[in-house]
Amino acid sequence: MSGRALEGQTAIVTGASRGIGRCVAIRLAEAGACVVAVARSEDCLQNLESEIRASGGCAEVRTLDVRDTDAFAELAKDVFEKRGRLDILVNNAGIARDGLLARMSEESWDAVIETNLKGCFNGCRAAARWMIRQRSGSIVNISSVAGVAGNAGQANYCASKAGVIGLTKSLARELGGRNIRVNAVAPGFIRTDMTRGVTEEFEKEFCGRIALGRFGEVDDAANVVVFLAGPNAGYITGQVVCVDGGLVI
Amino acid sequence: MSSVAEIVIEVIAEKMGVPKEDVKPEAHLVNDLNVDSLDQADIVMELEEKFDMSVSEEEAAKIRTVGDIIKYIEQHKS
């Protein structure tokens, strides 16, 4: 990607305090975008803001629970009114509450669907309003290969991430006529806090199923998100890009 | 002309890039002004904001002409 492909653009990234979201926020800022980094608590966000600003980037941090439809709408409105644009939305916030379906509590099911799927809907709806008005925009939703292939012990997570894919494809069709692209990235096993704590034995066994034979790093996923968000992906919409080292082929 | 009508006509003319004279109350949104479903959503959202009101999708679907919008807002605005 050419140095500052996103100069002058405004981006919102949810789940920006850690993992893939944090890396996406940094990379978008490096590409020239002004990044509104969003997370539930400000704890890790301040670090991120100073890190981006220290390297000459533009960042603003905001706390938001993505499950809150009205709050997300307010945030998008505020960003648009303040910056005069809303070019990029990365719906990255997500949680996992793993367990076998037969023993899964209703609370675990609801919590994962509410954050991962409804949170994504809330973001898309909030941003679409301004992007339609602007007649341009790019939304990247973070799904998962687990949503593509399924995974035992993660029925709630997989259902939410498969839902994100359906949402992405439908919205791409709805908004294509307004020059708004909507894509999804489906990471495989990426080393983050969410995937921390696996045993060496599990890693060895699991890597045997990955064509490239290793777990991914946050940059592997973030680079694809930034590509899809930007103008170099100008003719790509409604797609799901798996970033999984060849776990699902 | 009431201010509601003026505002509605101004918003539609601006969104659709047509002169205000073409946005007559009897004009059909789809047939006369080429308004598609996304344009309509955009117009309704802007008017909701301007008049501080909420239009249900059910009600919005009944709108056919510029006059329908004006009438709806006049009847429902707070």
B10-61 residue pLDDT tens: 999 999 999 999 999 999 999 999 999 999 999 999 999 999 999 998 999 9
Question: Average pLDDT for residues A129-142, to the nearest whole number?
Answer: 97
How confident is the prediction for chain A on average, in pLDDT? 96
- Contact (CB, 8 A) for B66 and B16: no
Which domain covers residue A140, as residue numbers?
A: 10-240
Distances, alpha carbon A110 to alpha carbons A128, A131, A159, in Å: 25, 30, 11
* Residue partners of A208: CB distance under 8 A and separation at least 6: none
Whole-structure pTM value: 0.93
> Can you tell me the mean pLDDT for A147-164?
97
Alpha helices in A6-115 (DSSP H): 19-30, 45-54, 69-83, 106-112
| CATH number, residue A46 | 3.40.50.720
Annotation marks residue A157 as catalytic: yes
Distances from the Cα of A200 to the Cα of A194, A204, A211, A212, B18, angstroms: 16, 6, 18, 17, 66
Q: Cα(A243)–Cα(A214) distance, rounded to whole angstroms?
A: 12
In a domain, A64, yes or no: yes
In Å, how far is B36's CA from the nearest CA of chain A? 10
| A175/B36 Cβ within 8 A | no
Amino acid at A59: A
pLDDT of residue B2: 59
ipTM over 0.85: no
Instruction: Exactly one of A72, A157, A215, A227 is catalytic; name it.
Output: A157
Quick one: CATH architecture of B3-76?
Answer: Orthogonal Bundle (1.10)
Structural domains in chain A (count): 1
Are the beta carbons of B68 and B62 closer than 8 angstroms?
Answer: yes
> Domain-by-domain residue ranges, chain B?
3-76
**A1 in a domain, yes or no?**
no
Place of tokens 């904001």: B49
